[in-house]
Structure 1
């Protein structure tokens, strides 16, 4: 390699270092199509003298660094772009579980690292990375081949990236015969042109997709190849063989030469290719240098085309001047394409994606099924026609799948398996209140407060609005019960009014009886306010109407009890209670006790009144429209005050239960207060353990039960006497002692 470099500088075989022995013009630049490793070695010598080195084959990304390699130019994209194209292909088909095979040279290992990082960034995983070397002994290579072959057969991946950057590496894949393995997709890179048909062994599978640089035909180039005299060109054995191949009858007429000898040196004819190898890249490379030279010379002489000796003397320092013009070169080639170097020192050249189709007759076709142009706008850089791809019959799904775990459907989320890559996961259902709308979601998304997941948990639907309505069975039942007791109450009130002058009605304080019956009617009616859609008015009326109505009823009962005790105490000789007998005590008791409850309710309303509240968290999938009590302390103060009145009434009535009078109601009041207290003590525990509309139903039942208890225990015995035992409803029974 060093000898070849010296020969180039000296322009003579067996040249001397630092001597130019030729008589031709000044060396302007070096154009080469060598492998990347050799190209980098040549640069170490050419770079010393600042000679531009233009490569139409090297894809070494490190050589694109203008700081470290200022005199090196590439007319093909670096491997960074082809790696990005492979990653886009994986992403397009959803292939997240792959393996990588590559040579162990520096450039290939760099490409492997880029592929690994890109696959990971796109949510994919690499099960294995296996490297090999063509420089080892045959026995070591065969051992490595067997190891890789076994690995591919035992692996669960269905997509294998077979990366290589030189033609010699292709042999390793032929030796591995990985293209004969069923159920595996091979993604590879090819740096030379494949013939449209090529004889291969039978049994190869339609599972290979290759990235190759775009190749195009140069107009009139076929005519030039067909008519040029090779004697005017440099020649050696390989070049002579190449020209002789063009004499083969299998070559197309557009490039077939008329030769005296009809002899070929190769079975695979290069004349069968569509674009004559690297002619497109070489053409662009030569014209890049030509335009740079032209721009440099024109900048010195304007439009002059003189060939005086001054021109050649100025061109003595070509390498020093040419770099500035190479970097800024910009022209249109014969195909009308813009040719220029971007900020990274790359030409805007795209890739074709080829599908290798193996035919039953033992040949292959290489069909272009897509493209990748790293310089196109986002969204237009990658195209593929998946309908044009021919897959082998062994694949159960088209296109084939390659995943460590099956995709998690909407409604599920991924949970990474412990100790395995992120592509290996289990699918679990989204928790309550969350959904996933796409496949393979890492986390589920919470629904808005007023919505809830559907059954599949892949969409949020409005929550069901719940409240105790008149239309539902429970609401209808409670309404009928309330109206039934209201009717009974009205009937009893009518009986008492109709028999207002009878002894039993008059003996039990007729006015308090009317007031108690009316307040009980209000209690039955206020239970209806608890049913229906809660709003601001009904929430305020619920508790205040209930508290004040019950306080009037209990105050009336307490007044009745006090009057009974005072009546018997006043009959004793010398009792001073006679002057208190009358309506003043009873009215004062009812008024005072009721007003106290009214003040409590007003304080509640002015400080923290009840209000409608949308409870979205009490029950799953529902919105409970309920009345928030505002102040729970005020609510229990109202209930506590009612309990206090009931307790006082119970104590007084219990002490007066044995007073001698057939019409004495102390016994009935005692029992009614016992029923009342039992109902509300049970209510507290039940109320705290229920939710939503059933909490409202519990309170309604407590109101109805306690009101019905008062109504039945106090008034049913009197109605029994009035209606069924009229003989008992006389004055003589009023004063008769128990022992009579």
Structure 2
């Protein structure tokens, strides 16, 4: 109360130092209730809720006529009277000093101003004037006066600016608090898309502006704003059409009680879709609005109201009002006639009022003694009384220690009419797995939703951005979580792995079968021809080639990765070395049949074994260097595929890998050239043409392997390599050994010494003719040249 006391001191000192120098002109007489006292409290209440103006054709001052009675304002005025009397009986407060009151009626803007001026100018001395004003109930225009005023219902946040309204106080919370509560209420229920209807009042327009500001910060968008004017004859139709066309399910109705009653009476609720109404504290606690008329406007309403409290003795005081308490009051008579539907003058249409009717028998805003805002009036009067008491103590003891106190504001949550909280959004929140994008052509609540891009997820609704999964994770189908990527490798259990394993086993079986056939018939000419030792070694190496393909199947490990290419490289070099040895034997055998040739002593069995060993050791050295410097290793390949991890064997040193393949290719090319040169040489069992064909298959397979290996994805890279190994191995096995097995099994008569001697005789004749032709050609060439 300290600040109020300081203002009171300033105003009283100013009043005592200045003489009455002004006189109110124009219409007066707004005083309705008064009582003398040592100190006077003023009050302004709109006992009438409408007015009319008569300007007399500009020949006299305009006259204001108040019309419709307002029982609630009468309740406020009587509450002031009750509180003043209660204070006067309290010896602990204003001891020896009595309070009086002067209560004025202001039914419109003009009346409010004139009533306020009448209140502060009436009285010949400072002590006869009102020391403070209580009122008004609206955030009107009377607060420009430099006079202490305490309002019980003026909630406009604009009035909190002390630079403009230094002497204004209130016992009701500012709309700033109510707006914050309403915004949080809508946020709680997820209502982001709302409509607003507000009245043509400072209270409503400022409140709506603040709501839009705070709501925007919380992501609440406004679909429409309807400015409700009483003078607009088609406003009810506009409201109906807007509510029917709107997509929002929630409507904020920010109006004073008078405007709200008028709107609900005039709008036909039967034509409206069901809406959730959000009310301001001015009307939300009025239960009678839910059943106002039969038009069913309020399907459901909620909002915040002032706390309800009971003031001891007030109810009895209000309901015990008799005409004898205010015999001179024309206003009380008017209210009495309105309450009891009677008249104090003779009338044929209404009954005669006796003045003794009981107010407990009627239902009116005046008899609603539980009205929440009555407590504010009661508190306002006590605030002034305490300030005056502090002022008197100051004068008595010269103490200047004042405490500035503020009220603690509390709201109560109110809802009536059962309705489930609806959904009210311009668009549902973007689900998990998508992102929100602002639509520049629409309010921020009317956004667009887009699926997360490939590899991205959003695990919450309404996210502005998606984020990418890490390298070894991939979004699930809903794109709301990252799950580990499935691993892929060529396994024995899948169809491809099983088929390749079957071919590998078949190749091993075929190699063993041919080995057994050759072993059983090892003494026959066809086996002994072209060095049987190399044939058996070749069969062994081919079997190892088939087996080495198995190392490529299964989950890669350190050992399997190192064994894959090294065993493949060494066994294939051993195989090609044997084939190369057999090819050289064919060539040497032909040279050995020429007269005076002893070339076979230079490439006998020992030299053949050493050549195979030497060629193979070179590959062994290459593999050892590869494994020593930078060996192959198991790798989780997350780059080749976006949705899976490929388990593979990284080459380590690519130079080592291509050196192994290059060396095999070099030997195969050399073998092919030699075999091609020896393909038509006469011999009983000349293998050169079969070796040539096998080398053609071998080279074709591995030439095709290179682009296929480079371009094949994932496990298919391994499958291509296994296929190349099997295809080239089957080519060598089939071309070199199958024809011999055919002769051994199905043409045994050709695998005899007699047949061989006959064939050697034929070959000798052919060789002699060939040599004769060669000699003749040389002789002709020599004679020609000489």
The structural deviation recorded for 1:428 is 5.0
| Compared CA separation, residues 630 and 217, structure 1 to 2 (3 A) | same
Structure 1 counterpart of 2:198: 102
What is the correspondence of 1:92-491 to structure 2 with a 5 Å cutoff? 92-105=188-201, 107-134=203-230, 138=231, 141-165=232-256, 167-168=258-259, 171-172=262-263, 174-177=265-268, 181-191=272-282, 194-197=285-288, 200-220=292-312, 221-226=314-319, 237-238=330-331, 260-262=355-357, 269-271=364-366, 273=368, 275-290=370-385, 311=396, 314=398, 324-325=402-403, 327=404, 329=405, 340-341=406-407, 347-355=408-416, 357=417, 390-391=418-419, 398-406=420-428, 408-414=430-436, 419-425=441-447, 427-491=449-513
The answer as to 2:144 corresponding to 1:63 is no
Structure exhibiting the larger radius of gyration computed from Cα positions: 2
1:309-367 alpha-carbon deviations (Å, 9 max, x no partner): x52x959xxxxx69x52x3x2xxxxxxxxxx44xxxxx332143332x3xxxxxxxxxx
| Compared CA separation, residues 556 and 296, structure 1 to 2 (3 A) | farther
1:524-551 alpha-carbon deviations (Å, 9 max, x no partner): 1111111112112111211221122112
| Compared CA separation, residues 131 and 203, structure 1 to 2 (3 A) | closer
Q: 2:569 aligns with which of 537, 541, 547?
A: 547
Structure 2 counterpart of 1:37: 140
Determine helix, strand or coil for the equivalent of 1:558: helix
| Distance in 2 (alpha carbons) for counterparts of 1:351 and 1:260 | 39
Q: 1:561 aligns with which of 573, 576, 583?
A: 583
| Distance in 1 (alpha carbons) for counterparts of 2:137 and 2:119 | 24
The structural deviation recorded for 1:132 is 4.0
Determine helix, strand or coil for the equivalent of 2:140: helix
| Distance in 2 (alpha carbons) for counterparts of 1:104 and 1:687 | 81
| Compared CA separation, residues 418 and 689, structure 1 to 2 (3 A) | farther
| Distance in 1 (alpha carbons) for counterparts of 2:389 and 2:610 | 121
Q: Tell me if structure 2 keeps the 8 A contact 1:60–1:107.
A: yes
Q: Tell me if structure 1 keeps the 8 A contact 2:305–2:411.
A: yes
The answer as to 2:124 corresponding to 1:21 is yes
1:520-575 alpha-carbon deviations (Å, 9 max, x no partner): 11111111111112112111211221122112212222222223223323443455
Backbone CA RMSD of aligned residues: 4.1
1:675-712 alpha-carbon deviations (Å, 9 max, x no partner): 11222223233333432223322221211111111111
| Compared CA separation, residues 206 and 168, structure 1 to 2 (3 A) | closer
The structural deviation recorded for 1:608 is 3.4
| Distance in 1 (alpha carbons) for counterparts of 2:643 and 2:531 | 55
Structure 1 counterpart of 2:660: 638
Q: Tell me if structure 1 keeps the 8 A contact 2:309–2:372.
A: no
Structure 2 counterpart of 1:337: none
The structural deviation recorded for 1:76 is 2.3
The structural deviation recorded for 1:674 is 0.9
The structural deviation recorded for 1:470 is 1.8
Determine helix, strand or coil for the equivalent of 2:169: strand
Determine helix, strand or coil for the equivalent of 1:99: strand
The structural deviation recorded for 1:519 is 1.6
1:241-275 alpha-carbon deviations (Å, 9 max, x no partner): 678999999xxxxxxxxx95218799860255361
Q: Tell me if structure 2 keeps the 8 A contact 1:196–1:272.
A: no
The answer as to 2:705 corresponding to 1:683 is yes
Q: Tell me if structure 2 keeps the 8 A contact 1:195–1:274.
A: no
Structure 2 counterpart of 1:624: 646
Determine helix, strand or coil for the equivalent of 1:353: strand
| Distance in 2 (alpha carbons) for counterparts of 1:217 and 1:265 | 20
The structural deviation recorded for 1:111 is 2.9
Determine helix, strand or coil for the equivalent of 1:516: helix
TM-score by length of 1: 0.76
Q: Tell me if structure 1 keeps the 8 A contact 2:119–2:130.
A: no
Q: Tell me if structure 2 keeps the 8 A contact 1:469–1:475.
A: yes
Structure 1 counterpart of 2:7: none
| Compared CA separation, residues 19 and 400, structure 1 to 2 (3 A) | closer
Determine helix, strand or coil for the equivalent of 1:58: coil
| Compared CA separation, residues 132 and 471, structure 1 to 2 (3 A) | same
| Distance in 1 (alpha carbons) for counterparts of 2:363 and 2:318 | 19
| Distance in 1 (alpha carbons) for counterparts of 2:287 and 2:560 | 86
TM-score by length of 2: 0.72
Structure 1 counterpart of 2:735: 713
Q: Tell me if structure 2 keeps the 8 A contact 1:561–1:652.
A: yes
| Compared CA separation, residues 154 and 673, structure 1 to 2 (3 A) | same
Determine helix, strand or coil for the equivalent of 1:45: coil
Determine helix, strand or coil for the equivalent of 1:218: coil
Equivalent residue pairs, number: 645
Which consecutive unaligned segments of at least 5 residues does structure 2 have? Answer: 1-22, 32-39, 43-100, 103-114, 343-353, 767-786
